[in-house]
Amino acid sequence: MDFQNFDIDLFLREYWQKKPLLIRSPWGHWQNPLEPDELAGLACEEEVESRLICQSSSGWDMEQGPQGEERLAGLGESHWTLLVQAVDQHVPAVADLIAPFRFIPNWRIDDVMVSLAADEGGVGPHFDQYDVFLIQGLGRRRWQIGPHCDAETTLLPHDDLKLLAEFEPLEEWVLEPGDILYVPPGIAHNGVAVGPDCMTYSVGFRAPSRSDLLGHFVDDVLESIPDDDLYRDPDLKRQDNPGEISPEALARLQQMMLESLSDPVSFARWFGAFNSTPKYADMDWRPEEPLEADDVRLAMSEGSPLLRNPASRMVFIANGTDALTLFADGECFDCTGDLAELARNICAHDRIVLDSGLATTSAAIDLVTQLCNMGCVAFESEE
């Protein structure tokens, strides 16, 4: 599924993280990938994150999932929205919606949230801290765009929802099936369903916060620092006032910390593992029966296509022209030569046909076997 007549370079230059953009259906042919009943069924499953948001005269209410079948069946004809997170991990056709947005690096991709709304349903005026492409899948939705917001913007008092206390729209559009609205971080927006069975697919992108990076990286660094790595001042000079912390001491102390955080190789290896850690760590995608090397060798020699699990996060960091480190769901694999090329292909494509010559390479067989048994990839079934 590709976009038609969409200028990627223009978008990145003029709109990405700068201003909203309405994209009237850029698909050659739009087909809604999921039915409302299917989404409702997903929302009732224990392992799927979902929320039900209802609006009444008394305000907004949110109910965390899993949802109850009777509760969903008893909803009225207006003013409610069902939100289901990471639907791409459960429905391959929804995962396919990410493909046209691959001009944004994979490590920035979060997931595809899907909303189902009754007439006048919405989640209220709000702003997000991430980039999002809002694809209208079914029905119609009116989107209003407001000004830029930040941590100082006043919110309504609510235990569960972060809704804007004041919202004045600057632009407004009604999206039809296949239309897309791009909203950068911090831009206020409000979407309201126009009619029943309004489905919207939110392709969201993540950006690590400075506090997250520092906190997790420092935790990782601390594990490698020996207990006897202490402050030293062999060139200590007598000072006039013993109560002063001298500029020299402060500089030496700060340097101690910076040296521990400034190794680019260590940071790259840590970040690759950190970034590729699954969003839902409790989900187990491993095969019921682990594959043996002989199983993988046979599948590779027969040319069986290898499929990447949409729930798996796989990225790589190059280490020169012929080597890289592959990161798969938080695990690291150092690869060179043909193995590095294999890793690049797995990261770049959802489905690949392996070179049959790799079936004679023990390192390639070992890598694919490990990835299969982790649930990151699987050979395509003939069924």
Q: What is the pLDDT of residues 263-308, one digit of tens each?
A: 999 999 999 999 999 988 888 899 999 999 999 999 999 889 999 9
The per-residue pLDDT for 382 is 54
Rounded mean pLDDT of the chain? 94
Who contacts 198 (Cβ-Cβ below 8 Å, separation ≥6)?
115, 116, 117, 118, 119, 121, 138, 139, 140, 141
Residue 58 has pLDDT above 90, yes or no: no
Helix (H) or strand (E) holding 189: strand 187-205
Residue 74 has pLDDT above 90, yes or no: yes
The dihedral region occupied by 34, where left means phi > 0, alpha psi between -120 and 50, and beta the remainder, is: beta
Higher pLDDT, 59 or 272: 272
How many CA atoms lie less than 13 Å away from 9 in the CB half-sphere? Answer: 0
Which of 311, 305, 295 shows the shortest CA–CA distance to 381?
305
Residue 115 DSSP SS3 = strand
Residue 186 has pLDDT above 90, yes or no: yes
Distance separating alpha carbons of residues 20 and 324, to the nearest angstrom: 36
Q: Are 213 and 261 in contact (CB under 8 A)?
A: no
Distance separating alpha carbons of residues 167 and 147, to the nearest angstrom: 8
pLDDT band at 190 (very low <50, low <70, confident <90, very high): very high
Chosen CATH of 293-379 out of 3.20.19.10, 3.40.228.10, 3.40.366.30, 3.90.650.10: 3.40.366.30
Which of 125, 104, 106 shows the shortest CA–CA distance to 8?
104
Who contacts 244 (Cβ-Cβ below 8 Å, separation ≥6)?
none
Backbone angles phi and psi of 36, in degrees to 5: -55, -40
Q: Which amino acid is at 192?
A: V
Q: Which amino acid is at 27?
A: W
The answer regarding whether domain 8-205 maps to CATH 2.60.120.650 reads yes
Where are any strands of DSSP class E within 100-179?
109-117, 132-148, 171-175
Which of 259, 264, 249, 270 shows the shortest CA–CA distance to 229?
259
Residue ranges covered by each domain of the chain: 8-205, 210-262, 293-379
Distance separating alpha carbons of residues 324 and 188, to the nearest angstrom: 40
Where are any strands of DSSP class E within 246-337?
306-308, 314-318, 323-328, 331-336
Q: What is the pLDDT of residues 306-345, one digit of tens each?
A: 999 999 999 999 998 889 999 999 999 999 999 999 999 9
Q: Are 187 and 149 in contact (CB under 8 A)?
A: yes
pLDDT band at 1 (very low <50, low <70, confident <90, very high): low
The per-residue pLDDT for 67 is 96
Q: Which amino acid is at 159?
A: D
Separation in Å, CA 144 to CA 107, 189, 192, 193, 223: 29, 6, 9, 12, 48
Query: What percentage of residues in the chain have a pLDDT greater than 70?
Result: 99
Q: Are 185 and 128 in contact (CB under 8 A)?
A: yes
Residue 357 has pLDDT above 90, yes or no: no
Query: What percentage of residues in the chain have a pLDDT greater than 90?
Result: 90
Separation in Å, CA 119 to CA 80, 302, 356: 8, 52, 54
Q: What is the pLDDT of residues 3-56, one digit of tens each?
A: 888 999 999 999 999 999 999 999 988 999 999 999 999 999 999 999 999 998
Q: What is the pLDDT of residues 95-136, one digit of tens each?
A: 999 999 999 999 999 999 999 999 999 999 999 999 999 999
229 secondary structure, DSSP code:
-
Residue 76 has pLDDT above 80, yes or no: yes
